[in-house]
Amino acid sequence: MGNKKTVIVVGGGFAGINFVKKLDKDLFEVILFDRLNHHQFQPLFYQVATSQIEPSSISFPLRHIFRGQKNVRIRLAEVLSVDPNAHKIQTSIGEYGYDYLVLAMGCKTNFFGNQSISEHALTLKTTYEAIGIRNHILQAFENIISAPESEKEALSNLVIVGAGPTGVELAGAFAEIKKNVLPQDYPRIDFSKFRIILIEGSKNTLNSMSDKAKATSYRYLQQMGIEIMTETIVTHYDGETLALNNGTTIRTKSLIWAAGVTANTIQGLPESCLAPGGRVKVDRINRPVGCKNDIFVLGDMALMETPKYPKGHPQLANVAINQALNLAKNMKKIETGKATKEYEYRDLGAMATVGRNKAIVDLPFLKFTGFPAWVVWMFLHLMLILSVRNKLIIFINWAWAYITKDSALRLILTQPGKK
């Protein structure tokens, strides 16, 4: 390896991938650790869950992404802990030493300490979980056909908790399937009894976006027949009955939890740099506060307080990508003795789609909705997809679905006899 420094990167998400791609190949050797062998394009998980695109369209094998980079090695393993003093990490396949360590492990579903929900709810944080939702919902319709009347209500209620972009996009997609697809697939089921219920703890749908986005998304969802419950909290769920803080219950076998995230954590970092909620307090070049100078934390795991963002940056792909690109440049500056550049987040806006021709785009200088917003949403997501081949596949899928209002991807991919 000569005198190249060894950089261990933990996590193949938006931050990890972009950091490794941008890092100087002549100065650094990289070992990339991830539990999965592929990078996942999370913004389109909901389309896999609702049978609109195939999982392979938004999943990119890490070895394929980096096959041209001779300085990158990939290890499929779980990283268990870090020993900052020894400059080593413990993993499920042994101990590894580093010159620099970059932690970009993203975040996981936040159940807010509610054990019953974590045991029984469906979640949407991986491609595998997206397929799980697809299987579960399709199987529920198969079960409705032969279920006794007493069980049909629980099978016919789909509850989504959390009305941020993920929850809103899921609800809208399921509403379109209910209207256009399922009655043709299951002509003997009365789909007027299929309820899609969206529950949100705050006052609004898309609560973190503009007032226009809040109002428009609420109107779109209502037009599509979705029942919306705001300022409502789920207190208990046993897989069959959902209890709410207002005393009411809903019978459902399908609860999708999209109500929040919490940072993934790793053992070994000093307590002094850990913030409430599991995030790691970092300085302006993503070094954990009060930690060794050879460790960096990127993306959803990092809590960087700046004058513009005193509570840290939002946990968005845009933040992760740009912190990663900035750190890759800074690492070269550190190695060559130049001054580093502080990271500052430029808010490029937010967007969400509720369904066909229905989307909301919030830009710093312009806010618009409807068909133009829907086209912008699709274009920007296509541009972010990694390979040209996958861009084409998804574009063809979307075009076909737009013309026919159907996708024909409704496969239940489970082993017969197993849930």
Q: Residue 185's pLDDT is what?
A: 86
Q: Residue 409's pLDDT is what?
A: 61
pLDDT tens by residue, 352-379? 999 999 999 999 899 999 999 999 999 9
* Paired residues of 78 in beta bridges: none
Contact 34, 264 (CB under 8 A): no
Contact 290, 273 (CB under 8 A): yes
**Cα(381)–Cα(41) distance, integer angstroms:** 10
pLDDT band at residue 407 under the 50/70/90 scheme: low
Whether 5-35+77-109+261-335 shares its CATH topology with 115-259 is answered: yes
pLDDT tens by residue, 192-227? 999 999 999 999 999 999 999 999 999 999 999 999
Domain ranges within the chain, ordered by starting residue: 5-35+77-109+261-335, 115-259
pLDDT band at residue 188 under the 50/70/90 scheme: confident
Q: What 3-state DSSP class applies to 160?
A: strand
Q: Residue 401's pLDDT is what?
A: 85
Q: Does 2 score more than 70 pLDDT?
A: no
Tally: H helices and E strands in the chain? 12, 25
pTM of structure: 0.92
Level-2 CATH architecture, domain 115-259: 3-Layer(bba) Sandwich (3.50)
The mean pLDDT value of the chain amounts to 92
pLDDT tens by residue, 261-271? 899 999 999 98
Q: Residue 232's pLDDT is what?
A: 96
Q: Does 1 score more than 60 pLDDT?
A: no
**CATH number of the structural domain 5-35+77-109+261-335:** 3.50.50.60
As a whole number of Å, the end-to-end CA separation of the chain is 48
CA angle 374, 375, 381 (to 5 degrees): 90
